[in-house]
Structure 1
Amino acid sequence: MFLRALALLPLLLSLQSCCGLYYALGCAPEQKLTKVSYDSPKECLDSFLAAIQFGDTRVIYESLGEDFKRRNRLSGLGFEIAWERIKRDSPWIQGAGEARIKGVRTGTGGSQVFLLEAFGKPFRIEVARYGFWELGRRIPAEEPGELEEISVSGAYVQEPTKIWAVPDPAKGRVVAVLQNEELEDLRPEDIAFLRLGWTWRVRNLLGAIQNAKDRKVPRSHP
């Protein structure tokens, strides 16, 4: 047994970090992530890769863009099974949690395409910006003494023109504008809360790179 462990030692030492030991042994740890952010392309990518590394399927699902989910017919209910299928069809994903950024370029519609490498295998992941809004609409109580209810609606908005911001430096403010047909009959007194803004999500898993030409990127990641 001791000799067998010695034979494995060079392989284990060659892995990029201690977490790589789990992948080599086929027992990646399943942990819940405590720090997740989608405020920038890099933070989105970091959250997604960390979720893969620690087997947090909730954050993996949360990191994916709505258009990616529709293309792949993914839903939160059966995502764990679907993720196993994705990993089976794209073996490079297994080690993506150990990836290092080699470069980045601007993709379609201002998206960011990251060139990554894990265990000597290059691949690409595209992240894109999505608008989102969430509205809490007050529903008055039907009977005196009852509490009013809050009806929550919202969506990710793929068309950037549906949510935009107009800076007003003279008054020290930014005026945000949301356009959606669900809001046509909304009155100010109906609003319990309103959230809107932009967030970054994974648009495409572009997979392993097969030739040297595809490895080129216009600029390197600092």
Structure 2
Amino acid sequence: MPWLATAVTTVGLLSTGAAHADTFVPLPGGEISRTLGDGTVVTVRLVGESATISPSMGATPVHRNAWVSGRAEVQVAGGIKKGSIQPGYVVGCQVDIAGGGVDGGASGKTDWEGNASGGLTSGGNLSLGPGEATSFVILDRESANDYGDESHSSANSFKGSEASVTWADSTIGLSGCAGYAQARAFVKVKVQTETIRTVVTLWGQPFSLG
């Protein structure tokens, strides 16, 4: 089956002044493979990951700005009924997120395909105090449901053996954090076979927001 790709772009204004130079941070991404009980092998990759850290637009120590990019890929070896791929980030203020810190996913509940039922955090404009961490998702796909009402999805659904999601210059804007701040990408993949329904989560490397 051909690759399914969803591109998400949020354009940020990058400072060019010498006193306010942006810092480009290449990140290593990662890969994880899981063999399910029925023999299906699920491989998740995070590739081409990077962050551009910008001086605060608020010109105060409690503001952070970054633009993040990457590509999440999934390959499934074996029979699959359906699946979904959901990328996002965890952001923490003066808290260790090396172990994830927050369960990878959105605030609020989503169904199997990632459709939101209240409280979906799909933007990177965050306010955190010391010791706090939260997660947000990259995708916010709007569509009309069977009744003509607006619905939202935070995941890219797929069938077959391969899928991907690409994002470029998506914004992380953090306010309220006077100490050090970090962020970390995650990719949550849900897979359903004839006998098993499971979630595989890949974590990226934490990086400093300043």
Q: Which has the larger radius of gyration?
A: 1
Same fold (TM over 0.5): no
**Higher share in helix:** 1
TM bucket (normalised to shorter chain) is under 0.3
Q: Normalising by structure 2, what TM-score?
A: 0.28
